[in-house]
Amino acid sequence: MQVLDGAGLDVDFHLLSPKGETLVFDERKSDGVHTVETEDGDYMFCFDNTFSTISEKVIFFELILDNMGEDGQDEEDWKKYVTGTDLLDMKLEDILESINSVKARLSKSVQIQTLLRAFEARDRNIQESNFDRVNFWSMVNLGVMVVVSAVQVYMLKSLFEDKRKSRT
């Protein structure tokens, strides 16, 4: 979970087990990674922003479920093609192990790239916010400088005016 945009860049996070027990409770965190041993049932998670009702937040979160029983099905599919020789069984098992290893590494690469994209989005939102703030205050300073220069010209001009009434 990561807060990408919004005032304060923080939210509360709750994770409840199917039995209603609190597994994770984070208060005002901008990011976090949690690993939980799962059990059968429906989990409930909540991102809470009630402490800051004025500002809205943009949140990135990713739910990763490991070992969901797909590996067993893949092995069953490969066993259909075995002709019964030990040499062929060993080669197919080696190939299956290599393929599963590549699949796991690719999955981890996708997860890391997604996380890096979330970091990039958060940094870009902060950068754009700072850019807008700098532009606003630069315009305010420019306006103040123009007003001050106009007042200085007026004051300098009034010093050199002849205020005496001449009678000729």
Q: Which two tokens stand for residue 140?
A: 């305010």
pLDDT at 70 over 80: no
Put simply, whether the predicted model's pTM sits higher than 0.85 gets the answer: no
Written as one letter, the residue type at 10 is D
Structure tokens at 149: 């220069």
Tell me whether residue 147 is exposed, middle or buried, using C-beta atoms within 10 angstroms of its C-beta: 0 to 12, 13 to 18, 19 or more: exposed
Exposure of 74 in the CB half-sphere (CA atoms within 13 A):
15
Q: Residue 81's pLDDT is what?
A: 54
pLDDT at 28: 83
> What average pLDDT does the segment 9-34 reach?
85
Q: What pLDDT sits at residue 139?
A: 97
Q: Are the C-beta atoms of residues 8 and 52 closer than 8 Å to each other?
A: yes
Condensed to tens digits (0 to 9), the pLDDT of residues 131-159 reads: 999 999 999 999 999 999 999 999 999 88
CB atoms within 10 A of CB 1: 21
pLDDT bucket at 26, cuts 50 / 70 / 90: confident
Decide if 28 contacts 10 (C-beta within 8 A). Answer: yes
Contact 19, 41 (CB under 8 A): yes
